[in-house]
Amino acid sequence: MLNLNDLYVFVHVVNHGGFAAAARQIDLPKSTLSKRVAELERTLGVRLIHRTSRTFVPTEIGRDFYRHAAAMLIEAETAENLVKGRLAEPSGLVRITCSVPTAQISLANLLPTVAQTYPKVQLELHTTDRLVDIVQEGFDIAVRDHFRPLPDSDLVQRTIGSDPVYLVASPSYLEEYGVPANPEDISDHKGLLISRAAEKWMLTNEKGDVVEVQPIRNFVADESTVLLRTASAGLGITCLPQKICQKELDRGELIRILPEWNAGKVLTTLLIPHRRGQLPSVRAVCNMLADQVNLMSLRPTSPLPF
């Protein structure tokens, strides 16, 4: 049977990228941590970490072992906190993962507020556009922006925001080509599209009416910031989530057209491993993110200037 204290030491050493940083974090001598990891490697009969005076890198089997050891410690921490109730101020490490656009557009503005509100919570944000195994890689929260419903899984799903998708164009474009008075007019206008396969826009209004329109394809880009800049340059009409184009709307660089119609919506959902979601620190961060997303959605839009 492995010494579970050695697993605790090993996980902290990997989390902090070395013995010295881990020693400061858990208040144990560096030499003690080194001896415990060496004893763990001796017991397992494998090398878990490549370490020299300049490098510290887990081996391939060390990375696999880390994921399972970290999951075990999460379960132990959860069990302890369920017993204690942890009524004190939320504290501890909360690891978050999201895509690069979500980090830049949403979390860059939200996380500083969360950190200031809960100074004892250590936030760690990991941004990537690859598919992340949240449980195996030891994340507490995944933030996902998505158009379609997420697939069912063992993760807790909490939708915290719904962002309308606007039809927008620059004042210069509208002055030259005219302002569409109804959805059918879109067919006479240049469209800035997210893909060749999405040449038609499905528009809905508050009455529940649905209209399919197809602009004249003028530009295609599968990245929202490029579409934002291209629309601002006056090259046509595009569809963008409110949170992406709101600053340009406020500054008058873009105008929302057909304001009674939306081209769908983007949902923001938190994905949380079931047991991690019971930790007060994770719950506090989730609640704070939900509150901040709701505040961001309460913004007026600019009227047509002409």
Which pLDDT tens digit goes with each residue over 171-181? 999 999 999 99
Residues 267 and 145: beta-carbon distance below 8 Å: yes
Query: Using the 8-state DSSP alphabet, how is residue 277 labeled?
Result: G
Global confidence as pTM: 0.62
The pLDDT of residue 132 is 85
Residues 223 and 99: beta-carbon distance below 8 Å: no
Query: Using the 8-state DSSP alphabet, how is residue 183 labeled?
Result: G
Residues 96 and 141: beta-carbon distance below 8 Å: yes
Q: Which residues of the chain does CATH 1.10.10.10 include? A: 4-84
Q: Which residues of the chain does CATH 3.40.190.290 include? A: 90-306
Nearest one of 1, 6, 41 to 22, comparing CA atoms: 6
Reported confidence tier of residue 91, pLDDT bands at 50, 70, 90: confident
- Strands, E, within the chain: which ranges? 49-51, 56-58, 92-98, 121-127, 141-146, 156-169, 190-193, 201-205, 210-213, 216-220, 237-241, 255-257, 261-262, 265-272
Reported confidence tier of residue 248, pLDDT bands at 50, 70, 90: very high
Q: How far apart are CA 179 and CA 158, in angstroms?
A: 39
The architecture in CATH of the region 4-84 reads Orthogonal Bundle (1.10)
What is the per-residue pLDDT across 140-164, written as a single tens digit (0 to 9) for each?
Answer: 999 998 887 787 788 899 999 888 9
**CATH number among 3.40.50.720, 3.40.190.290, 3.90.1150.10, 1.20.120.420, domain 90-306:** 3.40.190.290
